[in-house]
Amino acid sequence: MIEADKKSATEGLRLIDSHCHLHDTEFFTDNREQFYKETVEANIGMICVGTDQRSSRQAVEFAANHEFTWAAIGVHPHDTKDGWGDVKTLLENKTENSPIVAIGEIGLDYYYNNSPRETQIEGLEAQLQMAVDYNLPVSFHVRDGAKDQPSVWDDFWPIFDNFHGLRGVLHSFTDTRDNLEKGFSRNLYVGLNGISTFTKDQLQKE
């Protein structure tokens, strides 16, 4: 997900953690610099991913002041009720040497009702337009709700298909093979993590 003009900055790195929250003071305080030091010493770079307006600003500030570190900015579906105007402002103020390399994490999450469905959709569409306007890849967070509720994917795929040129990754994917293949058919990467190992859903296991 690193842009071509950032290639020289990645030389010497063995890996890039494409999704971390080391910048976020909600999770890291006194030990943050030690984590950063150990990561870089292992020749691992990182993309610090925002989840709301506050953490997106923090991601940009942290990445701007730490080598081998970049920022993704965006508002998680849970937090769309609080707006996404700061994301647009950060992009409008983006300079040639800006550490911003992606939009995210954004999407739809019907598992919890932290933000209304309509607000989540509005926030997703607005931020996808930003991704198109600034030619940035996207870190998608898409999570289904209860089985007796409408599928989040029935909303997500039509919205995705309304925007041309999107690219990115389905972060922390835990859904079915059908939606996995739909992601691949749209040239998306898919991120898997430990959550996938303890699901009780047979379709997810397959």
52 exposed, middle or buried (CB, 10 Å; 0-12, 13-18, 19+)?
buried
161 belongs to a structural domain: yes
Q: Give the H or E element holding residue 124.
A: helix 117-133
* Type of residue found at 30: D
pLDDT digits (tens, 9 = 90+) for 185-206: 999 999 987 665 555 555 545 5
4 belongs to a structural domain: no
Count of domains for the chain: 1
* Type of residue found at 58: Q
| DSSP conformational letter for 147 | T
3 belongs to a structural domain: no
Q: Is the pTM of this model over 0.85?
A: yes
Domain of residue 30 covers: 12-205
The pLDDT, as a whole number, for residue 146 is 79
Structural contact between residues 145 and 152, judged by C-beta atoms closer than 8 angstroms? yes
pLDDT digits (tens, 9 = 90+) for 24-79: 988 887 889 999 999 999 999 999 999 999 999 999 999 999 999 999 999 999 99
128 exposed, middle or buried (CB, 10 Å; 0-12, 13-18, 19+)?
buried
6 belongs to a structural domain: no
